[in-house]
């Protein structure tokens, strides 16, 4: 009788249950944004053609070195496609690994100065697989509150105990590490990690890696460093934060990076010791269960790495155009300032606090104003975008109470001349002024 009653209660609960939607319903602002979103025809080069026939200066893609227009890369890609086909159609651990995969892994390890390297087929799933491959339930993760969405997902999947520290605040990190060390003093030994970004995706500033390594040694933690935004950009030859701040890469236990963006390929990688890499070949979900990286992407990554080493002028040219845009925007705008580091070719422009206070701007108000600036800029044939991030679940203890400030996102490229960059900067600055002055 009780069994029948239990089944009846379960049936009633199922009938009353309303599942949450897989996708949150779009707001009116989001629907309007989608309606006005420009459509690009053809490749996303520095001068891009839109579906309405206009040609605009493209400052909204990660084509930093204009490799999209490199004819030698295109020819090499075509040759690879004819030799290897479109994709390996299998996971790396079975029959998906090809010689070009092993070559690019060796190329990256040699380039960075690490013992070994492993590549992944998707950028996003790289860090989301690396973290849970090493940190499990009961282990401890200390992470920067401003880390990107992929890192947050990796931390969530790991089911580890999480402690957050204030963004890029080494004193607060030291406070958290001291507290964690005291709490764990009489408990069973666990694995402990500090996880952060080399150059932050949503803020644009750079981690103090020298201080981070010092704290790692003192408190006996391991470092997982996500260089998705900094690899190929920072340092004399683009090796990332380790080269930029002259830190021995072997001091970082796992360096995670992207083969997309600056390298114009696809996929991600994790570099470190032989033990760190070998463990992932058996324990990392994205490596074990996903099809291997297409050969065309592996070859492109190897070729672009060689180009960065052979032609360091590319990096200095990028710094020149970045500096040129800075001079037009950050010191000259009365309304906005840049939170990115000067070396970052992605400028994150936010509204000044005093302007927000004076005009009583909510987060939604800021998003509307920034979109109006993007639209105004586009009418003058310059394509930029807004910083777009997923909302944080404040009820989830594994997610920090941190939401990036609404911002413009301006991506520089050496595919445009300095004069074109200057004119684009003036266009953006004037658009900011026009839109902000309308708001009373």
Give the DSSP per-residue string, 278-340: HHHHHH-HHHHHSPPPPHHHHHHHHHHHHHHHH-THHHHHHHHHHHHHHHHHTTT-SSEEE-S
pLDDT tens string 231-274: 999 999 999 999 999 999 999 999 999 999 899 999 999 999 99
Cβ-based neighbour number of residue 245 at 10 Å: 18
Determine if residue 352 is left, alpha or beta; phi over 0 gives left, psi from -120 to 50 gives alpha, anything else beta. beta
Q: How far is the C-alpha of 133 from the C-alpha of 131, rounded, in Å?
A: 5
Least trusted range by pLDDT, from 64-73, 143-152, 211-220, 393-402? 393-402
Q: Is the pLDDT of residue 394 over 90?
A: no
pLDDT tens string 398-407: 666 688 899 9
Q: Is the pLDDT of residue 167 over 80?
A: yes
pLDDT tens string 191-216: 999 999 999 999 999 999 999 999 99
Cβ-based neighbour number of residue 116 at 10 Å: 18
**pLDDT at position 122, please?**
93
Once rounded to an integer, what is the mean pLDDT over residues 373-392? 90
Question: 348: which 2 tokens?
Answer: 């994150």
**Three-point CA angle 40, 42, 48, nearest 5°:** 55
Which residues, in sequence order, are bridge partners of residue 254?
Answer: 224, 272
**pLDDT at position 39, please?**
92
Contact 412, 421 (CB under 8 A): yes
**pLDDT at position 136, please?**
94
**78-86 contacts, C-beta under 8 A, 24 or more apart:** 80/295, 80/296, 80/299, 80/300, 81/295, 81/296, 83/295, 84/294, 84/295, 84/296, 85/295, 86/294, 86/296
| Average pLDDT value for the chain | 92
Q: Which of 107, 126, 399, 162 is nearest to 254 (CA)?
A: 126
Which residues, in sequence order, are bridge partners of residue 411?
Answer: 346
Confirm whether pTM is higher than 0.85.
yes
Q: How far is the C-alpha of 114 from the C-alpha of 128, rounded, in Å?
A: 21
Q: What percent of the chain has pLDDT over 70?
A: 96
Q: How far is the C-alpha of 52 from the C-alpha of 50, rounded, in Å?
A: 5
């Amino acid at each position: 009788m009780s069994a029948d009653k239990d089944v009846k209660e379960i049936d009633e609960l199922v009938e009353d249950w309303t599942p949450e939607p897989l996708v949150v319903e779009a707001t009116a602002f989001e629907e309007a944004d989608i309606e006005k979103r420009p459509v690009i025809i053809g490749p996303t080069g520095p001068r891009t053609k839109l579906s309405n026939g206009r040609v605009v200066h493209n400052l909204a893609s990660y084509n930093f070195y204009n490799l999209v227009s490199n004819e030698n890369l295109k020819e090499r890609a075509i040759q690879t496609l004819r030799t290897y086909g479109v994709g390996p159609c299998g996971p790396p651990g079975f029959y998906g690994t090809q010689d070009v995969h092993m070559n690019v892994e060796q190329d990256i390890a040699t380039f960075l100065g690490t013992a070994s390297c492993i590549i992944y087929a998707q950028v996003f799933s790289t860090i989301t697989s690396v973290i849970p491959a090493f940190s499990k339930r009961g282990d401890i993760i200390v992470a920067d509150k401003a880390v990107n969405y992929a890192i947050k997902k990796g931390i969530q999947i790991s089911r580890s105990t999480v402690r957050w520290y204030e963004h890029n605040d080494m004193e607060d990190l030291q406070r958290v590490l001291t507290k964690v060390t005291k709490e764990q003093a009489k408990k069973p030994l666990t694995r402990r990690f500090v996880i952060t970004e080399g150059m932050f995706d949503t803020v644009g500033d750079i981690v103090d890696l020298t201080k981070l390594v010092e704290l790692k040694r003192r408190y006996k933690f391991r470092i997982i460093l996500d260089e998705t935004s900094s690899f190929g950009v920072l340092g004399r030859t683009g090796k990332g934060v380790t080269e930029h701040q002259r830190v021995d890469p072997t001091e970082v236990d796992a360096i995670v990076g992207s083969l997309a963006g600056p390298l114009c390929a696809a996929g991600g990688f994790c570099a470190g010791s032989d033990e760190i890499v070998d463990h992932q070949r058996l324990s990392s979900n994205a490596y074990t269960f996903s099809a291997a990286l297409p050969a065309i992407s592996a070859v492109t990554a190897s070729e672009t790495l060689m180009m960065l080493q052979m032609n360091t002028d590319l990096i200095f040219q990028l710094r020149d155009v970045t500096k040129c845009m800075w001079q037009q925007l950050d010191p000259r705008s009365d309304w906005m300032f840049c939170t990115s580091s000067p070396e970052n070719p992605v400028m994150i422009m936010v509204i000044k606090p005093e302007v927000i206070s004076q005009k009583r701007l909510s987060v939604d108000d800021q998003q509307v104003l920034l979109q109006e600036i993007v639209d105004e800029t586009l009418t003058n044939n310059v394509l930029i975008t807004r910083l777009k991030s997923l909302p944080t679940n404040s009820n989830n203890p594994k997610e920090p109470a941190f939401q990036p400030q609404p911002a413009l996102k301006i991506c520089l490229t050496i595919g445009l001349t300095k004069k074109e960059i200057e004119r684009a900067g003036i266009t953006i600055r004037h658009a900011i002024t026009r839109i902000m002055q309308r708001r009373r």
